[in-house]
Amino acid sequence: MLQNHAINYTTARGHRYGGAAATTKDQSIRLKADETIYSEGEHALTIYHVEAGAVRIYRLTAAGQRYILSFYGKGEWFGLETGDIRTDFAEAVCETCVTPFRANHDAVAPIDLLHIALTNLAKAQHKQLVITEQSALKRVAAFVCEMADRHPGDCEFDMMISRSDIADYLGLTVETVARCFTKLREKRILCLNGKLQRIVRLLDRDALISLTI
């Protein structure tokens, strides 16, 4: 059902993106932490592939509240919109490298847009469950699981995401997020290291998973 829906996309050459650094010779863009990739209201001409680092996608509510829809890590695609105008913002979380692709008939490689859209849809639906299944601890546990899934095999990894980003992603406050992390430490489920306490060492993966259910 998902085959044969690819259309031809090609890498964008020599094009500058939203104030980001110029493309390198392999057409990828290097970004420093918090650099903007695109903003709400811009024309949506390109989709992006994350080569390294991480990207956050967010919206601003009428009240000026930031809400992070999703994070994208290495190997994932983002930037596919319903219309041709951006409805959200994309920023690098940390040192990040992305490759832009845009519609072109002289395509280098076909990209399965439907597959990307459906993957994003599945992610969005999963997040709905996480958020609705309230209890701050469950949400934070689910978030740590999501981060851990990006590092299969490793029991220690760097989340690279601030408490504030986590809060805006999970619909909580920074204080609540911090309290949940202390609870997870008290339960001997994980350790936090690094000066910003963003390096997670999983002590009891099973207990973490059972928290999210």
Partner DNA sequence: CGAATTGTTGAATAGCGTCAATCAAGGTGG
Partner DNA sequence: CCACCTTGATTGACGCTATTCAACAATTCG
**Shortest Å distance, C-beta 9 to a copy of itself:** 10
Instruction: List the structure tokens of 42.
Output: 């811009």
The binding track of 10-49 with respect to DNA, each residue x by CB under 7 A or -, is ----------------------------------------
Which of a copy of itself, DNA, none does residue 63 bind to, with CB < 5 to 8 Å depending on kind?
a copy of itself
Residues 6+ apart with CB under 8 A from 141: 180, 184, 189, 208, 211, 212
**Shortest Å distance, C-beta 7 to a copy of itself:** 6
Near DNA by CB under 7 A, which window of 14-22, 38-46, 96-104, 194-202?
Answer: 194-202
Distance CA 139, CA 147 (A): 12
Q: Are strands 55-60 and 109-111 parallel, antiparallel or unpaired?
A: unpaired
Closest CA to 67 of 112, 120, 131, 116: 131
Closest CA to 81 of 39, 53, 139, 18: 39
Residues 6+ apart with CB under 8 A from 196: 162
**Binding residues for a copy of itself, how many (CB under 8 A)?**
39
Instruction: List the structure tokens of 32.
Output: 């420093």
CB 2 within 8 A of CB 114: yes
**Shortest Å distance, C-beta 18 to DNA:** 21
> 134-153: which residues touch a copy of itself (CB under 8 A)?
134
**Shortest Å distance, C-beta 176 to a copy of itself:** 12
Positive or negative, the CA dihedral 113, 114, 116, 120 is: positive
> 80-139: which residues touch DNA (CB under 7 A)?
134-137
- The residues that touch a copy of itself, with contacts defined as CB under 8 A, are 1-2, 4-5, 7, 44-45, 59, 61-63, 65, 67, 69, 80-82, 84, 87, 103, 113-114, 117-122, 124-125, 127-129, 131-134, 171, 213
- The residues that touch DNA, with contacts defined as CB under 7 A, are 134-137, 162-164, 171-179, 181-182, 192, 195-198
